Amino acid sequence: MKTKNKLEIIQAQIEKIISKAEKLETEYADSLSAVHPEYRESALNLMHYLAFRSFDISELQQSLRYLGLPDLANIEGHVMRSLLTIQPIIHMLLGDTDTVTQKNCISIKRSEKLLRRNTKRLFGNKSNKRRTRIMVTLPSEAAENYQLVNQLMQNGMNSARINCAHDGELAWAGMIENVKRSSKNIKRKCKIMMDLGGPKLRTGAMQPGPQVVHIKPLRDSLGTVVQPARVWIAPNDVLPPASEFDAVIPVSDTFIEKIKRGNTLWFADSRGKKCRMEIIRKQGKGRWALCSDSAYITTGTELILHKVQETGKEKNYVGELLPSEQFITLYTGDTLLLHSSLLAGESARYDLQGSLVNPAHISCTLPEFFQYVKAGESVYLNDGKIEGVVKKVRHDELEITITYASANGSKLKADKGINFPDTDMDISGLTEKDKEDLHFVAQHADAVNLSFVNQASDVRALQKALEKCETSLGIVLKIETRKGYKNLPEILLQAMQTYPVGIMVARGDLAIETGWENFATIQEEIMRLGEAAHIPVIWATQVLESLVKKGVPTRSEITDAALAQRAECVMLNKGSYIEKALKTLNKILVKMQNYQKKRQTMLPRLKTSEGLCLLYAEPDLLTESNNL
């Protein structure tokens, strides 16, 4: 095909895209006029981007690239300007003297400025050496432990996330107070982001097990202890401040005061086995101990305290233990009944001949979804670790056949996630609890994170609730369902009536809901839509998760964290090694910003270029080339 013909085809394609963009402007004129003044330009550009992406432009991009012209890559934030910039070049190459009308539309520099401004408004100022913000989910401990919060602030936390699905107003207030206190001391602001729980579908309670605590240290394949169990010892009403612990042992208020660092607690477990625990430190009203013995402790177990510098012994007894956490073990082919009643869950029952008497059953936290489920639809349990299909739908019960579980059986406990990716549920993203929590959020937070946003009406419900609270907060849209992704353009237009707005890619639920094989492209499209609307995106869920929880990252996590630099903010979840993870993430993001800016590849000078050599180059050829 001759060059002229190629140019004519390119010209026609670009004109078609521009025409579609102008058509969308007219169709959505009312929605565009309703957005906040700060988003007028951005909403218009979003329409242009949707028009642009309604075509398959891969061949157009290739044709432009072969002609040495801009290939329309990375134009999300400035669509019309990029199209109008190419048009006169094509006209000139075709020898066309007609002038192209240049509209007053967003330039590249203007689009970058808008995104920077909106990011700063929602997440606060960037760090001195890092462009991408870091959001940290505060653990319960942050309500009382100022030093932890202050350390997070000093290590680069830009915004603090508080999950309203956990703790309560007293704890939330303590967390916020510690953040503000640290912010004042180090003279750096930190935004407060609060998550509303939303209509989370989870498994219900299990039948209570025996009142016993199993202390189980980590052993290697030879049975040698490689990591002692971490035990929290405290009065019954004092919860463990850290998210990572192996056992909790309640004791009396008078006894806890006598336990000091370096002391030893001796006891005989339920089997008569003699065991001991070493007290390693005091924290608040509790004590941390390490135990290298495998032990079963029951209510009333006698504890004998051996002190370091004193003779004699102190005796006390283990207080009332909570029933041990029970679970259902499921195998491929098993039947699970999911019911709406509050009946506690139980494992399957078999007779003496091994025949099934009653299948395993468990309740759920959101029974109103039953009316939407149909036979043949998929179900995922425990963050996708267990897969099944709905075989029968009854008024108050679903019969599920397990289609995938691990070879040794997969455990299903209480309060584990349930996903129905094929089911179209019409359930609001704002629950009664959310509405109650919103009164506190409106008074203390900088932004509210709305969970399970499925449609524009969910956002409107939040906006109305905020109006009743007589406050204006930033809104972060948590996209974690297939429906939420599908409706994202109209969700964004509704949300843009508020300023500022952000998008959280809740990758855990979203991956399950959309399918593992689809998630990578969907994550990419969400980020592009955010850039088109100049709305900052949060890269969330399981970032450096192994490092946060176990202290050692995986190689794939490091790569994932490096890719996160393309978002405006990265979220870390809580865990025992959160400070270490925060330091690591900070270093990764600082280094990566020299190589990546959003999705644009940057090429800084290769600092190690002097150390690279051509291993197979002939010495005489190199010498000859140097003489030229």
| pLDDT one-digit tens code per residue, 256-280 | 999 999 999 999 999 999 999 999 9
pLDDT of residue 478: 95
Residue 607's pLDDT band, with cuts at 50, 70 and 90, is low
pLDDT of residue 617: 46
- In this structure, how many other beta carbons lie within 10 angstroms of the beta carbon of residue 320? 9
Lowest-pLDDT choice from 171-180, 312-321, 461-470, 479-488:
312-321
Residue 335 has pLDDT above 60, yes or no: yes
Residue 611 has pLDDT above 70, yes or no: no
**DSSP letter string, 320-382:** PPPPPPP-EEE-TT-EEEEESS-PPBB--EE-TTS-EEE-EEEEBS-GGGGGG--TT-EEEET
- Which segments of 364-451 does DSSP mark as H helices, in order? 432-444
Selection from 585, 580, 573 nearest residue 166 by Cα: 573
Residue 613 has pLDDT above 70, yes or no: no
Contact between residue 450 and residue 476 where contact means Cβ atoms under 8 Å apart: yes
Q: What are 247's strand-pairing partners?
A: 231
3-state DSSP call for residue 389? strand
Total H helices, total E strands in the chain: 19, 31
pLDDT of residue 627: 41
Contacts of 580 (CB under 8 A, 6+ apart): 547, 551
Residue 214 has pLDDT above 70, yes or no: yes
Selection from 438, 451, 442, 535 nearest residue 495 by Cα: 535
Write a three-state SS string for 229-254.
Answer: EEEEEECCCCCCCCCCCCEEEECCHH
Question: φ and ψ at 561, to 5 degrees?
Answer: -65, -35
Contact between residue 590 and residue 130 where contact means Cβ atoms under 8 Å apart: yes
Beta strand pairing status for 474-479 and 447-450? parallel
Residue 575 has pLDDT above 90, yes or no: no
Report the run of H or E that residue 146 belongs to, with start and end: helix 146-154
Residue with tokens 């290939």: 71
Residue 228 DSSP one-character state: P
pLDDT of residue 622: 42
pLDDT of residue 392: 94
Q: What is the pLDDT of residues 475-524, one digit of tens each?
A: 999 999 989 999 999 999 999 999 999 999 999 889 988 888 899 999 99
Contact between residue 437 and residue 167 where contact means Cβ atoms under 8 Å apart: no
Please give the Cα distance from 33 to 16 (Å, whole number): 25
Please give the Cα distance from 532 to 254 (Å, whole number): 62
pLDDT of residue 612: 61
pLDDT of residue 98: 67
Task: Over range 174-203, report the average pLDDT.
Answer: 94
Domains annotated for the chain, with CATH where assigned, are: 3-106 (no CATH), 115-141+156-166+182-199+428-601 (3.20.20.60), 212-317 (2.40.33), 328-419 (2.40.33.10)
Question: Which residues in 542-552 are b (16+ Cβ under 10 Å) and which e?
Answer: bbbbbbbbeee
Q: What is the pLDDT of residues 15-74, one digit of tens each?
A: 999 999 999 999 999 999 999 999 999 999 999 999 999 999 899 999 999 989 899 989
Lowest-pLDDT choice from 36-45, 238-247, 613-622:
613-622
pLDDT of residue 351: 87
pLDDT of residue 626: 42
Contacts of 565 (CB under 8 A, 6+ apart): 132, 588, 589, 592, 593, 596
Length of the chain: 628
Task: Over range 437-464, report the average pLDDT.
Answer: 94
Residue 97 has pLDDT above 80, yes or no: no
Report residue 471 as tokens: 């406050």
pLDDT of residue 354: 85
Percent of the chain with pLDDT over 70: 94
Question: φ and ψ at 304, to 5 degrees?
Answer: -115, 120
Please give the Cα distance from 547 to 544 (Å, whole number): 5
List for the chain the helix, strand, coil content (%; round to 5). 40, 25, 40
Lowest-pLDDT choice from 274-288, 446-460, 493-507, 605-619:
605-619
Question: Which residues in 406-443 are b (16+ Cβ under 10 Å) and which e?
Answer: eeeebbbebebbbbbbebebebebbbeebeebbebbbe
Angle, helices 79-93 vs 40-53, to 10°: value is 60
